[in-house]
A and B are shown apart, each in its own frame.
Chain A
Amino acid sequence: MATITLTDKDRFLINQEGQDFSHEAKTFIKIRELALKNLKGLDFPTRKLEDWKYTNLREVSKTEFRPQTAVNIIEEKIKAHKIPNLDAYVLVFVNGFFAPKFSNTVEEKDGDFIVTNLNKAKKDFIKLVEPHLGFQTRAKDQFFVNLNSAFSQDGGFIYVKSKAVLDKPVHIINLVDGDLVASYPRNLIVAEKSAKAKVVVSYETIDSNSALSNVINEVVVAEGANVILDKIQNENSNTYHIGADFATQQKDSIFTINTIPANAKLIRNNLNIVINGTNSVANLYGAICLNGDIHVDNQTFVDHAKPNCESNELYKTVVNDSATSIFNGKIYVNQIAQKTNAFQSNANILLSDDARANSKPQLEIYADDVKCSHGCTIGQFDNEALFYLKSRGIREEVAQKVLLDAFIGEVLDNIEEEPVRKYVDQLIADNFNSKN
């Protein structure tokens, strides 16, 4: 008799089962079924795949992560993860599940906007969710995208009506509490014609147990809309964070994403931006300041599908201790996307002997009337600048901090909300100081 041997993937998937999604509408169950079907033919990505060349997920595949509900979440614990002085609608998710007690939702049917959790929206606002959910994440070959599509528990749902403006930013707090928790938060942000929205999504952990966060943000930017998404990733040093962000832009729209990976054991971000309308702008910024032995892998993909669009990409990295930073930026210019302006820049500073930086700024261009450029640098703080500051009586550590602020500041200046900026500044300063 042939024995059936389970692969790591099989065992992993079995661990994820046991959640009951049967109460969901058929259309949403279909998304899960399709993803499960795709997962059958997929496996954990290995370093043999070009896109995963520098990131090894062996440990993730071997660890018994499973979805768990949190127990005894008290307000005190949540409070610490709010951004001080930020006047915002707050949605709190713990281990991927909604925590209504700590959240303030806006669900008026006639209001300008809706801020609620996705599970509620799947019931109450099915007409608004259905056309968008899962639309951008249908890639058959992405293991972790399908994983989230299949097992996602809940997430934020933000909908802004045509010509409306979300009066305050929304802060979606994703927390993890417990041992070996697998959480699958999934946010859906829809900005209708000429609408405007600002969203801050933070991923943090309550304790120091190992966890897996497999997250997705889906953003729909309609004609003339403007969406700003800030992503703060500050989990404990035992957590694996594998995220994907999807945005599709229609004409005259602007989409900005600020990525701030501050802490975790491993962070992988996949940004997929499709500029599907003329005269649109996509901005991708990353401020990456790493220490310890964190491994951060940022992959960005900008698809210029229509003419007269612009994309700006700036990723700045400071790598300390034995941390590793990977940047892979890809700009794809379709044959019809004439008059495209695409800029991409990745600057890295290495501060220690064991720090590593890998960069792959990639251009694929099929249109001729374009201006595309990319640049990449790897180096150190300018010795002369350091000397200048030191010669004026500034201690080396302080001088380094000044230069760091100037270096990373160029990226952080794109964060519009002052309290968010301060919060991020503090995270980066803490990261930097813990070494010095």
Chain B
Amino acid sequence: MSMSDEDKIIEEATSGEYKYGFVSNIDSELAQKGLTEETIRFISGKKNEPEWLLDWRLKAFKMWENMEEPEWAHISYPKPEFQDIIYYAAPKPKKEYESLDEVDPEILKTFEKLGVPINEQKALAGVAVDVVMDSVSVATTFKEKLSELGIIFCSFSEAVKNHPDLVKKYVGSVVPQADNFYSALNSAVFSDGSFCYIPKGVKCPMELSTYFRINEANTGQFERTLIIAEEGSYVSYLEGCTAPQRDENQLHAAVVEIVAMKDAEVKYSTVQNWYPGDKKGRGGIYNFVTKRGLCAEENSKISWTQVETGSAVTWKYPSCILKGDNSVGEFFSVAVTNNMQQADTGTKMIHIGKNTKSTIVSKGISAGKSQNSYRGLVKIGKGAVGSRNFSQCDSLLIGDRCGAHTFPYIECNNKSAKIEHEATTSKIGEDQLFYCNQRGIKTDKAIGLIVNGFCKNVMDNLPMEFAIEAKKLLEISLEGSVG
């Protein structure tokens, strides 16, 4: 194939636009614009929160006022105007369609490709759904089953009402209020989120997902998730969904905290596909997330898997604090950026306990004019005898106007630790493309195939159904919305 043909296909492949647009809203109960103590009291009051939580929020707000926005990340964007944001809105009714026929056929096509069941398609596209909608009833059955086992899985607000002791004990224990600018902001104004508690010795029989609560609550832009896994328990938690999510808020500053006790294992998987802005970089979501897990006791394990394809700007470092002896932290990530998207993402592995192990596998794919950075920290403390880390971060470049960057920090204070880090950057091999073409696979399909091969060892860590959808999502992100 001639070079110009290939260029054209790459051009096509990387110039896809996100066609979902936004749906206008009918505003309901809103807080005053801007952020003051009053706003926080308003939010807290609306949610009937106990006094201690209000104080907690106010404390965070005081800290936030004295903090500055971080600027070290390899991203540039107009700073959000924090006094211009409405920090509380009751769940906004979305504009609803009468039937799927009214929905943009392109979206339906995407759903079809992703294999989203028809009722879920309706929910995602904003079609009015019956009360008996499958996923809702399924969710209810699930809830019953879970409560039999003693598992608590509910919204954060419910947890504050029904399990205040647990919330009080653990909220802010992994990500303190003053951890960083955005976590402080989140702590002050968080709207809602998920709460999950797995009692001692219980293996959660199904993947827990915010997906099942999709119609229950609009968790909003300042989401807060808290997962507690007691001794010997296991849970796999899914966040987000592969289908494009409509969202009206530009700034997303979520906080996720995980605590894993002795012998407990938590698996946290994310697929993020928020609006990335248009081809010229206008609009799009700012995704500034603080995610951290604490392996509090021995033999615990926390595993992060993420597939990031959306958002205009991503700033996200799911981390593990390996405090318990023999604890294990894992981070598997695929980050795809296209058009003008920017991603600065990676992880932190803080080894404190003896014989702690961590694995980092990060795959970055940049196309269009996007910038994709891996930023990670591996820190071995003095007491972390016999610790082990393996990191691999590979970048794939598609087109000559994108950037791929790596900023790994490695700090070792212990002579018995072993750390390995390797990174490569390359473009899609012409020979690989040629091989596929030769066997009758069109170039755009071939790119999808190669990219999926490139990401395979991350995708393998996703729960099954999720993985299949995510694979398709990768292809779509790179092919453009048409696919």
Interface set of A (CB-CB < 8 Å, partner B)? 50, 335, 338, 348, 350-353, 355-380
Query: For the side of the interface on B, what is the size category?
Result: 35 or more
Q: Who on chain B is nearest to A349 by CB?
A: B415
Q: Which residue of chain B is the closest to A369 with respect to CB atoms?
A: B427
Q: Considering the chains assembled together, what is the distance between the CA atoms of A357 and B397 in angstroms? A: 31
B400 at interface by CB-CB < 8 Å: yes
Interface pair B397/A368, CB less than 8 Å apart: yes
19 additional contacts (CB under 8 A) given A351-B415, A359-B412: A335-B400, A338-B400, A353-B382, A356-B412, A356-B413, A359-B421, A362-B405, A367-B397, A368-B399, A372-B424, A372-B426, A373-B422, A374-B406, A374-B422, A375-B422, A376-B410, A377-B420, A378-B412, A380-B418
Measured in the bound complex, the distance between the Cα atoms of B456 and A140 in whole Å is 46
Query: Is B405 touching A350 in the complex (CB atoms < 8 A)?
Result: no
Residue of B nearest to A374 (CB): B423
| A interface footprint on B401-416 (CB within 8 Å = 1, 0 otherwise) | 1111111111111111
Establish whether residues A380 and B422, one from each chain, have CB atoms under 8 Å apart when the complex forms.
no
Whether B417 is near chain A, meaning CB under 8 Å from some CB there, is yes
- A356 — which chain B residues lie within 8 A by C-beta? 411-413
Whether B72 sits at the interface, judged by CB under 8 Å, is: yes
> By the criterion CB–CB under 8 Å, are A377 and B400 in contact?
no
The reply to whether A368 and B400 contact each other, CB–CB distance below 8 Å, is: yes
**Cross-chain contact of B418 among A355, A359, A362, A378 (Cβ < 8 A):** A378
Let me know if A371 and B426 touch, CB within 8 A. yes
State the majority secondary structure of interface residues on B. Answer: strand
Task: Determine if B415 and A365 form an interchain contact, defined as CB atoms under 8 angstroms apart.
Answer: no
Give every chain A residue within 8 A of B395 (Cβ-Cβ): 363, 365
Minimum distance in angstroms from A52 CB to a CB of chain B: 14
Q: Are the CB atoms of A364 and B415 closer together than 8 Å? A: no
Looking at the complex, which one of A50, A350, A370 makes contact with B412 (CB distance below 8 Å)?
Answer: A350
Q: List 24 A-B contacts (CB under 8 A).
A: A357-B410, A358-B409, A359-B421, A360-B409, A363-B395, A363-B425, A364-B405, A365-B397, A368-B397, A368-B399, A370-B425, A374-B421, A374-B422, A374-B423, A375-B421, A376-B408, A376-B420, A376-B422, A377-B421, A378-B410, A378-B417, A378-B419, A379-B418, A380-B416
**How distant is the Cα of A361 from the Cα of B407 in the complex, in angstroms?**
7
A373 adjacent to B412 (CB under 8 Å): no
A375 x B423 contact (CB < 8 A): yes
Chain A residues with CB under 8 Å of B72's CB are 50
The answer to whether B405 and A365 touch across the interface, beta carbons within 8 angstroms, is yes
B227 at the interface (CB under 8 A from A): no
- Which A residues touch B411, using CB under 8 A? 356-358
In angstroms, how far is the closest chain B Cβ from the Cβ of A31?
32
Q: Tell me if B398 counts as interface (CB < 8 A to partner A).
A: yes
B357 CB to closest chain A CB, in angstroms? 14
Q: Is A357 within 8 A of B412, CB to CB?
A: yes
Task: Report Cα–Cα, A364/B72, bound state, in Å.
Answer: 15
Contacts of A366 in B (CB 8 A): 402-403
Partner pick for B404 among A50, A350, A353, A365, CB 8 A cutoff: A365
B407 touches A362 (CB 8 A): yes
A145 CB to nearest B CB, Å:
23
Contacts of B382 in A (CB 8 A): 353
Q: Contacts A350-B414, A360-B410 known; A367 to B400 CB distance under 8 Å?
A: yes
- How far apart are the CA atoms of A369 and B398 in the complex, in Å? 9
B405 touches A363 (CB 8 A): yes
Given contacts A350-B414, A351-B415, A365-B395, contact A360 B424 (CB under 8 A): no
- In the complex formed, the residue of B with least CB distance to A360 is B409
Assuming A350-B415, A358-B411, A376-B410, is B424 touching A368 (CB within 8 A)?
A: no
Please report the C-alpha to C-alpha distance between residue A355 and residue B417 in the assembled complex, in whole angstroms. 12
Q: In the complex, A220→B78 CA distance in Å?
A: 41
Chain B residue contacts of A364, Cβ below 8 A: 74, 403, 405
Interface pair A369/B425, CB less than 8 Å apart: no
Q: Are A370 and B419 neighbours in the complex by a CB distance under 8 Å?
A: no
User: Judging by beta carbons under 8 Å apart, are A353 and B421 in contact?
Assistant: no
Q: Which residue of B lies closest to A352 (CB)?
A: B415
- With A and B bound together, what is the CA distance between A365 and B370 in angstroms? 12
**Hey, which chain B residues are within 8 Å of A335, CB to CB?**
400-401
CA–CA, A379 and B400, complex, Å: 37
Q: Of B408, B412, B415, B425, which one neighbours A372 at CB under 8 angstroms?
A: B425
Closest 5 CB pairs of A and B: A368-B397, A350-B415, A378-B419, A376-B421, A359-B410
Q: CB within 8 Å of A: which of B121-152?
A: none
Contact A361 B408 (CB under 8 A): yes
By beta carbon, the residue of chain B nearest A364 is B405
Chain A residues within an 8 Å CB radius of B407: 360, 362
* Residues in chain A near residue B421, CB distance under 8 A: 359, 361, 374-377
Within 8 A of A (CB), among B74-115: 74
Q: Looking at the assembled complex, report how far the CB atom of B124 sits from the nearest CB atom of chain A, in whole angstroms.
A: 34
Q: Is the CB of B412 within 8 A of A358?
A: yes
Q: Which residues of A contact B400 (CB under 8 A)?
A: 335, 338, 367-369
- Chain A residues lying within 8 Å of B402, measured Cβ to Cβ, are 366, 368
A50 to B74, CA, bound (A): 13
Q: In the complex where A335-B401, A379-B418 touch, is A365 in contact with B425 (Cβ < 8 A)?
A: yes
A373 close to B419 (CB less than 8 A): no
- Distance, CA A353 to CA B381, complexed state (A): 11
Contact flag A373-B424 (CB < 8 Å), given A350-B414, A353-B414, A353-B415: yes
Cβ–Cβ < 8 Å partners of A352 in chain B: 415
Q: Which B413-469 residues have C-beta < 8 A from chain A?
A: 413-427
**Residues of the A chain whose Cβ atoms lie less than 8 Å from the Cβ of B412:** 348, 350, 356-359, 378
* Distance in Å: Cβ of B333 to nearest Cβ of chain A: 17
Cα–Cα distance between A276 and B380 once the two chains are bound (Å) = 39
List the A residue with the shortest CB-CB distance to B430.
A369
Bound form: Cα–Cα A378–B418 in Å: 5
Q: Tell me how far the C-beta of A303 lies from the nearest C-beta in chain B, rounded to whole angstroms.
A: 14
What are the residues of chain B within 8 A of A50 when measuring CB–CB? 72
Contact partners of B417 in chain A: CB under 8 A = 350, 378-379
Please give, as numbers and ranges, the residues of chain B lying within 8 Å of A373 by CB-CB distance.
422-425
Q: How far is the CA of A375 from the CA of B390 in the complex (A)?
A: 11
Most buried by B among A335, A357, A365, A368: A368
Q: In the bound complex, do residue A368 and residue B415 qualify as a contact, i.e. CB atoms below 8 Å apart?
A: no
Q: How far is the CA of A374 from the CA of B406 in the complex (A)?
A: 9
Q: Quick one: which of B397, B414, B415 has the most chain A CB within 10 A?
A: B415
A132 shortest CB reach to chain B, Å? 32
Tell me the complex Cα distance, A61–B395, Å.
41
